[in-house]
Structure 1
């Protein structure tokens, strides 16, 4: 062996302490330690020992109403959905052990994509293993070095990560600001590839994007448009196709991204499109090519759920009723909410700070109610939120019970 090559059993000489790669997380570690020291239960490691229905579970030993699961349409216990998963598990086994481009495409994956094409009335559908991967894969593949992505500053982490992975130029604009978006688009160099990324419903505050105006501006400036409808699929729009349908722009957008982990009630992600070259994405999209495909039981439950959502008008109407009642009830009690009017199935309750928010979260859990505690940097404007996501299976009585729980907990903590 050459003298210039170090033997494996001879470690390099150290000139000081080895850098601790975890040091960058010290502030977060301290924040969590201080939170737990205040006596609240850990809001980020709740355990559901048993799930009883779409709206109830045993959490940390308590019978608890679920108001933070994104199970908007309550499909997780639908008998047809469960039966489809059980049959696929028995017929095809527990997993595929491969990616979609090798051995990982089963009949169920094709049937799931067929259901998506029918649901959205679009030519192409592509199923990913998670919604995160759908954004990561589509955005990073179509917007690369030299291209520009114009996106809302409050975009989901998966959107930001897709931009970073593709190495495109990222151009953010103020949340839901139509004029700011147009100004950014007009500054992009002539001839550059342009992609505008929007969300139908923004998951922190539950507000919707002004898609009618934004899509027109994007098209007028030569940009392609991708809309993430994770939090509106199944619920918003005449057929549950999302804010793009409600705003009348579904035929003008180039890509719709969604997830199975919200209204569909299982796990996975997808993209639908009418672009004539879309099928090439199956060979060039790395998060699709290099990821194991969803298990047969999962795509079977997803396909069955999607087809049932096509005719779920009654569920959609009841979910709107629940959202309106919770929003008005919390407002009457004196809570500060993220929107003036209910815009989606998400109702965000703004807390004064993280300490009060954690105390309120803990008090609600003691009452028997689970919501999401959301904090910076995930939240806009450094807000601490208690995020409530309603379900079509919440009864009128449960919503009234929830309002009583908020009233008692809010007074005990000093929020109202």
Structure 2
């Protein structure tokens, strides 16, 4: 008798059932019934502070972007009904690609329907089964899935460790296939910032292209908001920059920017690009408007950095275990899953929403309460979140 279609998930079901038996609510099914602003939403019928949305600049509620989307939906419709290589390329798509290339000071840009697909499509277009990928061990799931789709050999190096990357790259110097190094700017779970400048030195010594995912750092770091590569002064040495519109820009979609003229070949061999309906025009219009705000309102980045430092220092002051990096992603590390579930539920009961991240999705197999701070948060909102964390941590005898 053949196995049932869901039999393979028996372990997962056991873990899920165990979690649900100890939690009064599903931590992976929280519904924000209505956002009242970028920082406050209605959850379970009450006003709740939002510290788990990745809405770093608060632009999901931008009136400029809203107006652009409304006008475009009325004049151009709400969808393209096709992929970019079929009938789904509108003039707005090309306008956004030119705008992104200009912002990043690169020659070319390629827009995808999601940030996840940007990694899937870029990686699988650049390498195949004869090639080698060097991935940071803490890489996002979309990077690992892009590697799997490509069929390339994957060699992982220790998180944020240029020396380990150097050692592993050197062992492959005599291979005949192509090689590609991939890192992220800000790591989405912990908020750790990559030493991209050191990775660039490895790339140069071994003549290997380097791809960087700036999903969580675009609009956030650097004098012009271009991310960690700008902040560390190594932008010109990054071959491919991938990112998303769903964080700082507040919409949805993804992109790859590069100086390589072969980008039109990538369009023809990137299956996630070729076989997915393109972004609808109102989303493109809203993204273009948000991109202008990122360019023209540097005070948002300054305020975001101040708020990130305030939340980070606040957590440290009440004795919570966080990374030493100060970025808009600040994760509190806990010791075990039951403790994390209890803490997360108590936070939501107290009107503070954060993300609960559980093993094996976490870097060191310990649960995290992952917070994302915004430029839109007030000092009062941040201090309330810190006070709530501190009170619950004391009640649970964590500090």
Q: TM-score range by the shorter chain?
A: over 0.9
CA distance in 2, matches of 1:38, 1:367: 18
CA distance in 2, matches of 1:89, 1:68: 29
CA distance in 2, matches of 1:165, 1:145: 10
C-alpha change, 1:19 and 1:115, in structure 2 (3 Å) is same
Gaps of 5+ in 1: 1-15
The normalised TM-score by structure 1 is: 0.94
CA distance in 2, matches of 1:158, 1:62: 34
Of 133, 137, 140, the residue aligned with 1:153 is 137
What does residue 369 of structure 2 align with? 386
What does residue 295 of structure 1 align with? 280
CA distance in 2, matches of 1:334, 1:309: 34
What does residue 398 of structure 1 align with? 381
Q: How far does residue 41 in structure 1 lie from its aligned partner after superposition?
A: 1.6
Render the CA deviation track for 1:247-282: whole Å, top value 9, x for unaligned: 111111110000001001010000000112222222
What does residue 206 of structure 1 align with? 191
User: Are the equivalent residues in 1 in contact too, given 2:192–2:325 (CA < 8 A)?
Assistant: no
Q: Is residue 282 from structure 1 mapped to residue 272 from structure 2 by the alignment? A: no
Partner SS for 2:364: helix
What does residue 160 of structure 2 align with? 176
Partner SS for 2:36: strand
Q: How far does residue 341 in structure 1 lie from its aligned partner after superposition?
A: 4.0
Gaps of 5+ in 2: none
Render the CA deviation track for 1:176-199: whole Å, top value 9, x for unaligned: 111110011111134321100000
Q: Is residue 319 from structure 1 mapped to residue 334 from structure 2 by the alignment? A: no
User: Are the equivalent residues in 2 in contact too, given 1:40–1:358 (CA < 8 A)?
Assistant: no
C-alpha change, 1:121 and 1:39, in structure 2 (3 Å) is closer
Render the CA deviation track for 1:202-239: whole Å, top value 9, x for unaligned: 11110111110111111210111100000000010010
Q: How far does residue 312 in structure 1 lie from its aligned partner after superposition?
A: 2.4
Q: How far does residue 113 in structure 1 lie from its aligned partner after superposition?
A: 1.1
Q: Is residue 225 from structure 1 mapped to residue 210 from structure 2 by the alignment? A: yes
Written as runs of structure 1 = structure 2, the 5 A alignment for 1:22-33 is 22-33=6-17
Of 238, 245, 249, the residue aligned with 1:260 is 245
Of 348, 352, 365, the residue aligned with 1:365 is 348
What does residue 350 of structure 1 align with? 333
Partner SS for 1:382: coil
Render the CA deviation track for 1:144-175: whole Å, top value 9, x for unaligned: 11111011011011111111111111111111
CA distance in 2, matches of 1:231, 1:39: 30
Q: Is residue 113 from structure 1 mapped to residue 100 from structure 2 by the alignment? A: no
User: Are the equivalent residues in 1 in contact too, given 2:185–2:217 (CA < 8 A)?
Assistant: yes
What does residue 65 of structure 2 align with? 81
Of 235, 242, 259, the residue aligned with 1:250 is 235
Of 219, 230, 234, the residue aligned with 2:219 is 234
Q: Is residue 61 from structure 1 mapped to residue 45 from structure 2 by the alignment? A: yes
Render the CA deviation track for 1:293-330: whole Å, top value 9, x for unaligned: 01111111111111210122111111111111111111
Q: Please tell me the root mean square deviation across aligned C-alpha atoms, in Å.
A: 1.1
User: Are the equivalent residues in 2 in contact too, given 1:122–1:272 (CA < 8 A)?
Assistant: yes
CA distance in 2, matches of 1:341, 1:155: 17
What does residue 30 of structure 2 align with? 46
What does residue 82 of structure 2 align with? 98
What does residue 151 of structure 2 align with? 167
CA distance in 2, matches of 1:254, 1:248: 14
Render the CA deviation track for 1:19-67: whole Å, top value 9, x for unaligned: 0232222222222222222243211000111111111100121210000
CA distance in 2, matches of 1:370, 1:116: 32
User: Are the equivalent residues in 2 in contact too, given 1:67–1:371 (CA < 8 A)?
Assistant: yes
User: Are the equivalent residues in 1 in contact too, given 2:193–2:325 (CA < 8 A)?
Assistant: no
CA distance in 2, matches of 1:276, 1:35: 50
CA distance in 1, matches of 2:234, 2:125: 24
User: Are the equivalent residues in 1 in contact too, given 2:84–2:277 (CA < 8 A)?
Assistant: yes
The normalised TM-score by structure 2 is: 0.98
User: Are the equivalent residues in 2 in contact too, given 1:367–1:409 (CA < 8 A)?
Assistant: no
